[in-house]
Chain A
Amino acid sequence: MRIIIFFCLIIIVLIRLLTQTHTWREGDLVRISSTVSSEPSIIRNKQKLKIANLNIFLPIFPQIYYGDYIVIEGEVNGSELKNPVIRQLKHQTNFLPNFRNKLLSFYKQALPEPHSSLVAGIVIGSKENIPFDFWDSLRRTGTLHVVVASGMNVTFVATFFLSLFIGFFSRKVAVILAILGIWLYSSLAGLQAPIIRAAIMGTISFGAQIFGKVYSALNALIITLFLMILVDPQIIGDLGFILTFGATLGLIIFESRINDKLKFVPMIFRQGLASSLAAQIVVLPIIFYYFRSFNILSPLINALVLWTIPIIILIGSVAGVVGVLLPPLGKIILLLAYPMTWWFTMIIDLMSN
């Protein structure tokens, strides 16, 4: 039965892949009106936008935020929009993007760099403000994945909502609300491949609870893979998409087995080492293929820093919600995360030199 379902899924995805049309012709002069659906990244003195599968490079001013409405003109040149000109730019006042911007601005006011952007990256996967040198250190130590909102965040959000609602509603209703919470958080975090992957898998896992089915992570991963390609075939070429699937596959297959063999490692570092080794088994060849380099010490570095992540998520999100309403109190709470971000940045500095 399962084989037949997977077979049908493969056929559907193949048809979708073969029939997709390329939207742009080389040299087309186009005008695109769109909402900015992912956070613009700042690379040196340019901001990079991705709209309608085109990379657009713009000057730093005016700054463009996730959720803004933009009208832009330019010439299609491969996957890039050449000579882009902004015709219209409206900042969003919708609740979610607005809340996200307030949250990021709170983090900036509360801690110095790179601590504030580290918290912002860990809590909602924001990468816009990470100083270039720190970004480079994360990349070289193989710890860049911590500033990508992903599975751990989704688990955290779902657990939080579930324990919040379970006191007031039946288990079924609480689970449904937790699923809504997952998607609310995912839109807040900017709907990039890793977070969508985690949100769909979280939904399947919680959905299985409602229907009283046994949840199989591997099945959920495969279904998620098909669903995402079905909706957006071009996502196959997205490195974030490839890495999140590779890492999750590694975790599902190897993590608990490796963990059993690491009884000699102190508990605080064991989980981080096991998950990092498990993910690396699948991810390492991909990284090597794309970047022609990898850090052999990466699992060790990950083991040293990964224990801080759940604590930073916890303190960072509580402080963030409080801080948007009552900044002075939020700042005091966020200071509690400083020992962890200090440890994290100290290890990364040490290891990247």
Chain B
Amino acid sequence: MQISWRYIIGFLAILVSLTWLAVLSLPDQNLHVVACDVGQGDGILLTYKSSQVLIDSGPGNKIVDCLSRHIPFWDREIELAILTHPQLDHYGGFAQVFRRYKVDTFLANSLDSSSSAYKALKEEVAKQKLKIINPMQSMILRVGLIDIEVLSKDDEGGGVLGAFDSKIDPNEFSIITKISFADFDGLFTGDMPKYISDRIADQIKLNGYNHIEYLKVPHHGSKNGLSEGLLRSANFKIAVISAGRRNRYGHPHKDSLDLLQKYGLKIFRTDEQGDVEVVSDGKSWKVR
């Protein structure tokens, strides 16, 4: 009988330690915006309690490690995934993410990409039977207490990935979103070019969004993304640049950095700091 008692005690010890680990990993009451260190690319996780939104996934598997670090171990569900536009540095990690997490909704363009990696992603999406929606301007999605509003133009693909080809730069199709969590707001800009930066600035002014705290600097800080008009449009406080260490494009560009400094934004860079985590209770915010 001695042996079976040992197993029972062992089993109970495991249960107790599992419970402690689960309790210790319980999320707080704050929104966490994590710009993941994915190398040259974008991958941003929004997490509030057990609700998660993932905007882009970087070029490869590094996003998986970031999600593992910032989502509690017992939560295997991401409520919303957004692909801003079909370029590898934004979608490369999604196939792995979809294999590991149950993703409820996938917001993406119907613009196609001819690369074999995008084909593999489309196969994975079909295999998992993911629910796909295409963006419509002013559409608002609600995930937990996080509101996500689409600012970019309509896409009428009818819920299909890769419905049409285009000779235009995919960056111009970037899905641009404004997220709000009570009084804390963030603007997520994909790789939008300068002229769209100005257009978004007009929209922001038109809608009266004059306090947006968080700016995901467009196109990894390239000088072809950020415009002065955009910085004038809302009272941005934090600029987050997602770029790879010593990347071959020279991102972020000095002009963009100067511009951000001129408007008094605090700059945080994934190439220098690794994951950039901004925590907000809905009013104030701090950077970790």
In the bound complex, residues from chain B placing their C-beta under 8 Å from that of A338 are: 18, 21, 73
Across the interface, do A113 and B73 meet the contact criterion of CB distance under 8 Å?
no
| Contact partner, A110, options B18, B65, B76, Cβ 8 Å | B76
- Nearest CB on A from B288, distance (A): 19
Q: Is residue A237 within 8 Å, beta carbon to beta carbon, of the partner chain?
A: no
In the bound complex, residues from chain B placing their C-beta under 8 Å from that of A110 are: 76
Taken together as a complex, chains A and B put the C-alpha atoms of A311 and B10 apart, in Å, by: 10
Q: Is residue B204 within 8 Å, beta carbon to beta carbon, of the partner chain?
A: no
Residue of A nearest to B70 (CB): A112
Taken together as a complex, chains A and B put the C-alpha atoms of A61 and B101 apart, in Å, by: 20
Across the interface, do B21 and A63 meet the contact criterion of CB distance under 8 Å?
no
| Contact partner, A335, options B10, B18, B68, Cβ 8 Å | B18
Taken together as a complex, chains A and B put the C-alpha atoms of A59 and B17 apart, in Å, by: 42
Per-residue CB contact flags for chain A residues 128-141 toward chain B (1 = under 8 Å, else 0) read: 00010100000000
Taken together as a complex, chains A and B put the C-alpha atoms of A108 and B102 apart, in Å, by: 11
Across the interface, do B65 and A133 meet the contact criterion of CB distance under 8 Å?
yes
- If A335-B74, A338-B73, A339-B17 touch, whether A113 touches B120 (CB-CB below 8 Å) is no
Residue of A nearest to B16 (CB): A339
In the bound complex, residues from chain A placing their C-beta under 8 Å from that of B60 are: 45, 60
Binding site secondary structure of chain B:
helix
- If A61-B120, A336-B14, A338-B73 touch, whether A112 touches B68 (CB-CB below 8 Å) is yes
- If A105-B99, A339-B18 touch, whether A113 touches B68 (CB-CB below 8 Å) is yes
Q: Is residue A115 within 8 Å, beta carbon to beta carbon, of the partner chain?
A: yes
Q: Is residue B30 within 8 Å, beta carbon to beta carbon, of the partner chain?
A: no
Q: Is residue A88 within 8 Å, beta carbon to beta carbon, of the partner chain?
A: no
B39-74 residues at the A interface, CB under 8 angstroms: 60-61, 64-65, 67-68, 71, 73-74
- Nearest CB on A from B260, distance (A): 31
- Interface residues on chain B, number (Cβ under 8 Å): 24
Taken together as a complex, chains A and B put the C-alpha atoms of A114 and B65 apart, in Å, by: 8
A310-353 residues at the B interface, CB under 8 angstroms: 311, 331, 335-336, 338-340, 342
Across the interface, do A113 and B18 meet the contact criterion of CB distance under 8 Å?
no
Q: Is residue B117 within 8 Å, beta carbon to beta carbon, of the partner chain?
A: yes
Q: Is residue A62 within 8 Å, beta carbon to beta carbon, of the partner chain?
A: yes
- Nearest CB on B from A127, distance (A): 14
Q: Is residue A111 within 8 Å, beta carbon to beta carbon, of the partner chain?
A: yes
Q: Is residue B100 within 8 Å, beta carbon to beta carbon, of the partner chain?
A: yes
| Contact partner, B120, options A42, A62, A116, A311, Cβ 8 Å | A62
- Nearest CB on B from A338, distance (A): 6
Taken together as a complex, chains A and B put the C-alpha atoms of A271 and B111 apart, in Å, by: 59
In the bound complex, residues from chain A placing their C-beta under 8 Å from that of B100 are: 108-109, 112-113, 116
| Contact partner, A109, options B14, B15, B76, Cβ 8 Å | B76
Per-residue CB contact flags for chain A residues 67-98 toward chain B (1 = under 8 Å, else 0) read: 00000000000000000000000000000000
Across the interface, do B73 and A114 meet the contact criterion of CB distance under 8 Å?
no
Query: Which residue, of B99, B100, B101, B116, has the highest number of chain A Cβ atoms within 10 A?
Result: B100
Residue of B nearest to A107 (CB): B100
In the bound complex, residues from chain A placing their C-beta under 8 Å from that of B18 are: 335-336, 338-339
In the bound complex, residues from chain B placing their C-beta under 8 Å from that of A114 are: 65, 68
| 13 extra A-B contacts, CB within 8 A, seeds A42-B61, A61-B116 | A62-B120, A108-B99, A108-B100, A109-B99, A110-B76, A112-B73, A113-B64, A115-B68, A116-B100, A131-B64, A336-B15, A338-B21, A338-B73
B residues touching A (Cβ–Cβ < 8 Å)?
10, 14-15, 17-18, 21, 60-61, 64-65, 67-68, 71, 73-74, 76, 99-102, 116-117, 119-120
- A sample of 29 cross-chain residue pairs with beta-carbon separation below 8 angstroms, ordered by A number, consists of A60-B117, A61-B117, A62-B120, A63-B120, A108-B100, A109-B99, A109-B101, A110-B76, A112-B67, A112-B68, A112-B71, A112-B100, A113-B65, A113-B68, A114-B65, A114-B68, A131-B64, A131-B65, A133-B65, A311-B10, A311-B14, A331-B76, A335-B18, A335-B74, A338-B73, A339-B14, A339-B17, A339-B18, A342-B21
